């Protein structure tokens, strides 16, 4: 009964380093999403995947890449981290468009 699992929970990077955030869901959902949340702000969509094999840009895609590895897994990659990417990252999934999102517990990323 895990729902949406994100790893790692915390990460500190130096400017220019790369890393991949992992996300997996066990609810057989078709659509998956990556959001970032900055202090005092709502969630902004980075990338989403409507179904296995497809990905699309969201509101703030610059500096990120994604891979929908299979139906369960959707990863987010930072190729060259910048301090402006310091944020909390949430992965989410839903059965289809027009259904509620289920969120993971987030990854707190700090870039120094």
Which residues are near another protein by CB under 8 A? 4, 31, 33, 35, 40-45, 48, 50, 58-59, 90, 97-106
Sign of CA dihedral 62, 64, 65, 67: negative
Min dist. Cβ of residue 79 to another protein (A): 24
Min dist. Cβ of residue 47 to another protein (A): 11
Residue number with CB closer to another protein (80 or 99): 99
3-state SS, the chain, equals CCCEEEECCEEEECCCCCEEEEEEECCCCCEEEEEEECCCCCEEEEEEECCCCCCEECCCCCCEEEEECCCCEEEEEECCCCHHHCEEEEEEEECCCCCCCEECCCEEEEEC
Residue number with CB closer to another protein (28 or 42): 42
Residue number with CB closer to another protein (84 or 99): 99
Min dist. Cβ of residue 78 to another protein (A): 21
Min dist. Cβ of residue 98 to another protein (A): 6
């Amino acid at each position: 009964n895990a729902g949406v699992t994100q790893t790692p929970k915390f990460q500190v990077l130096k400017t220019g380093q790369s890393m991949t955030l992992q996300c997996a869901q066990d609810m057989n959902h078709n659509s998956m999403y990556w959001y970032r949340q900055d202090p005092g702000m709502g969630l902004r969509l980075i990338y989403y995947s409507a179904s296995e094999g497809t990905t699309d840009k969201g509101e703030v895609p610059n500096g990120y890449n994604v891979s929908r590895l299979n139906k369960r897994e959707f990863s987010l990659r930072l190729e060259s981290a910048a301090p402006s990417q310091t944020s909390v990252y949430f992965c989410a999934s839903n059965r289809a468009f027009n259904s509620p999102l289920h969120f993971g517990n987030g990854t707190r990323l700090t870039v120094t």
